[in-house]
Amino acid sequence: MGSGFFIDTKGVICYNKYIQKESLSALERLKAGNRDYLNAKTGVGDISPERRLQTSKNGQKPYAVILSCSDSRVIPESIFSAGIGDLFVIRVAGNVTDNHQLGSIEYAVEHLDCNLVVVLGHTRCGAVGAAVKQNGGFVKFITDEIRQAIGEETDAVKASILNVKKSVEKIERLIKKTDGLKVIGALYNTETGKVDFDL
């Protein structure tokens, strides 16, 4: 429908309150989106044909970069009630940071003017659990990185937080600072859906 209006599941025309989020800071938008997500039954981000066409013609202008785990229960666009073109999402098991992730972040910061990078860990993370158990195979490349972050910590939530903090520190150290760039960590609770930004 465009112009900030949409038709709800009962066929009622409503004003899209998410348009109002444009005036909020990137972090405030994420927090507001997560509050909306906590009680949502379906996705609420703008995935309309109009939005798809607009971003196809005019390019993407994401307001935040999200580095998250590949876990199928962790869907940043849903967690933050975001639509097409809203978030620059990088997913890798254990939300670890190597040159590929750093390159993606650098691209989003330097070329897309993103000023907020969020490393989003989560509860019940299988990659963190594997690091505690010291698995082998190709997953070892991920678990070795996590093990460096968590040390001897065996509490799953504390280990996930340490892992997030390690990635935040690495991004802050290696990505060239631009005016207003903020790098923060957050933890998504897979049971409640709430994101804790106060780590």
At which residue do the structure tokens 């998504």 appear?
Answer: 188
Q: In which domain, by residue range, is 169 found?
A: 26-196
For 134, the token pair is 């010291």
pLDDT of residue 22: 55
∠ CA 56-61-66, nearest 5°, is 115
- The C-alpha atoms of residue 34 and residue 31 are separated, in whole angstroms, by 5
pLDDT of residue 13: 44
9 domain-assigned:
no
User: What is the pLDDT, as a whole number, of residue 176?
Assistant: 85
Is 14 inside any structural domain? no
Is 3 among the domain residues?
Answer: no
pLDDT for res 107? 97
Q: What's the structural domain count of the chain?
A: 1
Q: Is residue 168 part of a domain?
A: yes
Please report, for the domain that includes residue 38, its CATH number.
3.40.1050.10
pLDDT confidence of residue 98: 94
118 and 30 in contact (C-beta within 8 Å)? yes
**Per-residue model confidence (pLDDT) at position 166:** 97
* Inside any domain, residue 108: yes
Residue 8 lies in a domain: no
User: 16-19 — which CB contacts under 8 Å span 24+ positions?
Assistant: 16/46, 18/44, 18/45, 18/46, 18/81, 18/83
* Token pair belonging to 117: 């990078």
Where the chain has pLDDT below 70, the residues are: 1-23, 135
CA dist 29 and 10 (Å) reads 27
- The pLDDT of residue 24 is 74
Q: What is the pLDDT of residue 199?
A: 86
Residue 149, CB half-sphere, CA atoms under 13 Å: how many? 28
Q: What is the pLDDT of residue 62?
A: 97
Predicted confidence at residue 44, as pLDDT, reads 80
6 within some domain:
no
